[in-house]
Chains A and B, each alone.
Chain A
Amino acid sequence: MLRGKVALVTGSSRGIGRAIALKLAKEGADVIINYFRQREAAEQTANEIEKLGVASKVIRANVGDPEKISEMFDIIASSFGRLDILVNNAASGLPRSALDLDMKAWAWTMDINARALLLCTQGAVKLMEGRGGKIVAVSSLGSSLVLPGYIAIGVSKATLEALTRYLAIELASKDICVNTVAASLVPTETGLLYARGGRPGAAAPLPTTPAGRMVSAEDIANVVTFLCCEEAFMIRGQTIIVDGGTSLAPFSLMNKGEAP
């Protein structure tokens, strides 16, 4: 379905980004793996992608740093000469309350989670000109729901979703579709760390969803991949929620059996 397309997935060494990268590769796309701190994991993901018979490349860049973003797109331009799909997935943030949130943590989170979508889009559009393309961002329910310790990330995700709408309209005439997929808690390494209040290995009951299980990274990857296909051409600037119904039924955020 995506054969011949070139995709960049930011933050794809592990977790949701990795699942998205693998899914796009299974559909035939060449996939560029961007990472910041996890080189070995990034190389492993790239190896798995190459085993699927498509090309892959690993590029290290902190997407919170405009210069590194610019360098990443220079590498993509010289290696592939084009880009068809940008998945803005990389995210970071510290669990802090509003009163403990200093400017540094705020800027770090906003730069990586929200500003990167703007800057990566600027880089990507130059490589999509004349052919169109797909841009998909990854958000979370924390953009509209209030989750503990999630203020900076939640606000950055709200910014990401607003950016999605503006970018979708500005780029619509270039045949570039921009959308976002918002997930509830996904039990990746980072998701579990958040559920455990930032304490690795701590016991924590994991929430289920009205659909009877947690959302998986593959669930997110499936929807992102659909938005990268021509069938989704008329979906523009939307945030598609993939949460098993959680946001419609707040009691489902609690552990099964504990809800009143």
Chain B
Amino acid sequence: MSAVEDTIKDIVVKIVHCDREVLKPEATFQDMKADSLDMVQVLVALEDEFGIEIPDEDAQKFKNFGDFVGYVEAKVAEKKGNA
């Protein structure tokens, strides 16, 4: 597991109050029992943590946790590349 994925899990568990074991790549946001308020808070926490931006339009496209992690990892890598 990447360090980014580990941090995402920490943040999701803290905000959504779900079990860490639920956070498998195929898990949907319904599996995580995350509502739209949880999602906004998760997005903002990740933006602050990694210094990236996750527009709502992009966030609406995530089908499952794996998509979400892949997206954030790509954004973090892109930011490092620009730094």
Contacts and interface: CB of A to CB of B under 8 A. Distances in A.
Contact of A37 (B35, B37, B38, B56): B56
A104 B56 contact: no
A108 interface: yes
Interface size class of A (residues with CB under 8 A): 10 to 19
Nearest to B43: A37
Contacts of A40: 55
A40 B58 CA distance: 14
Interface string B20-44: 0000000000000001111010001
B53 A108 contact: no
A62 interface: yes
A230 B18 CA distance: 53
A131 interface: no
Contacts of A104: 35, 37-38
A38 B53 CA distance: 10
A37 B36 contact: no
Interface residues of B, number: 9
A162 interface: no
A196 to B, nearest CB: 16
Interface string A97-114: 000000011001000000
Contact of A94 (B37, B44, B55, B56): B37
Nearest to A105: B37
Nearest to B17: A104
A11 to B, nearest CB: 14
Nearest to A39: B53
B38 to A, nearest CB: 8
A108 B56 contact: no
Contact of B37 (A36, A38, A39, A108): A108
B67 to A, nearest CB: 20
A104 B37 CA distance: 8
Contacts of A36: 44
Nearest to A198: B36
A62 B37 contact: no
Nearest to A38: B56
Nearest to B56: A37
A137 B44 CA distance: 25
Interface string A243-260: 000000000000000000
A62 B53 contact: no
B44 A62 contact: yes
Nearest to B44: A62
11 contacts: A36-B44, A37-B40, A39-B55, A94-B35, A94-B36, A94-B37, A104-B35, A104-B38, A105-B35, A105-B37, A108-B37
Given A39-B55, A105-B35, 15 more contacts: A36-B44, A37-B40, A37-B56, A38-B56, A39-B53, A40-B55, A62-B44, A94-B35, A94-B36, A94-B37, A104-B35, A104-B37, A104-B38, A105-B37, A108-B37
